[in-house]
């Protein structure tokens, strides 16, 4: 009974871990530029004294879904969406360069350009700082132009250019802060071929229907493991009763 109980207990634990990842995907259905975590199960032999006679399931997140989400027009001049392949370069909390598809940009009171998540957007020479402006426009190549606040003429002035990159997808991973990084810890050079769509944001690439179906399936599997544990407990009790009779 101990073997049955152990396998069922581990199955329930791994199932809960998969449910956490799936719940996180569901929670970010409306998060611009969010990339869905991929969860899978694989068998893991139990090693110990003698030959491995059992195997249990192990939940793991082997990667991330990098497929683009649906583009949504907002008419906000600070919103941009990467058109096709590519990413927006940002400075993460630890000071390193990372990448995102969240193009719902904003400017702080100090003039720092931030991504929707709150990370400084990188330009030609580090994080981008904008002077006070009455109008801001972002071109398809990431060039930022403004009309300075209080300017006598209405001519746009180029201020900086957002760093747009397109690293190989097989060299990318999603870190715990939700940003995309290179596996070697390096950074990608700017790519002049990457284009953005102004006044548009990219939605999350989570398929809400699939995520809800996964949630129901994982819940049923968890209930099955719990029933197995209860059955193991019943069988152990019956064996104990037989032992007392004998």
Beta strand ranges found along 19-67 (DSSP E): 37-45, 55-64
pLDDT band at 28 (very low <50, low <70, confident <90, very high): very high
Torsions phi, psi of 196, nearest 5?
A: -125, 160
Contact 139, 162 (CB under 8 A): no
Percent of the chain with pLDDT over 90: 54
**Closest to 151 in 3D by CA, of 140, 141, 129, 136:** 136
Among 85-94, 123-132, 147-156, 228-237, the minimum mean pLDDT is found in 228-237
Give the pLDDT confidence score for residue 193 in this predicted structure. 96
| pLDDT at 106 > cutoff 60 | yes
Q: What is the pTM of this model?
A: 0.80
Q: What is the dihedral of CA 132, 133, 134, 140, to 10 degrees?
A: -150
Question: What is the pLDDT at residue 7?
Answer: 73
Give the CA distances from residue 189 to residues 52, 192, 208, 209, in Å, rounded to whole numbers and listed in that order.
Answer: 48, 10, 34, 37
Q: Where do the structural domains in the chain lie, given as residue ranges?
A: 2-66+206-245, 71-202
pLDDT value for 62: 64
CA distance 231 to 163: 59
Gap between the Cα atoms of 220 and 117, Å rounded: 34
Per-residue confidence band for 158, with pLDDT thresholds at 50, 70 and 90 = very high
């Amino acid at each position: 009974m101990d073997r049955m109980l152990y396998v069922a207990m581990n199955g329930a634990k791994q199932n809960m871990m998969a449910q956490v990842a799936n719940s996180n995907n569901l929670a970010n259905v409306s998060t611009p530029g969010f990339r869905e975590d991929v969860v899978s199960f694989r068998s893991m032999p139990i090693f110990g004294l003698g030959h491995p006679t059992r195997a249990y399931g192990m939940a793991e997140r082997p990667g991330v879904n990098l497929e683009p989400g649906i583009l949504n027009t907002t008419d906000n001049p600070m919103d941009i969406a990467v058109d096709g392949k590519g990413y927006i370069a940002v400075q993460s909390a630890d000071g390193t360069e990372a990448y995102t598809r969240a193009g719902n940009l904003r400017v702080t009171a100090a003039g720092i350009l931030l991504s929707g998540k709150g990370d400084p957007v990188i330009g030609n020479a580090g994080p981008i700082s904008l002077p006070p402006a009455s109008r801001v426009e972002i071109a398809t190549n990431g060039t930022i132009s403004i009309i300075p606040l209080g300017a006598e003429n209405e001519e746009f002035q180029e201020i900086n250019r957002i760093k747009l990159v397109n690293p190989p997808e097989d060299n990318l991973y999603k870190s715990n802060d939700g940003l995309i990084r290179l596996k070697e810890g390096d950074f990608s050079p700017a790519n002049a071929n990457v284009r953005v769509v102004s006044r548009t944001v990219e939605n999350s690439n989570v398929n809400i229907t699939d995520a809800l179906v996964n949630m129901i399936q994982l819940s049923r599997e968890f209930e099955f493991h719990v029933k197995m544990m209860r059955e193991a407990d019943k069988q152990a009790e019956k064996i104990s009763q037989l032992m007392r009779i004998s």
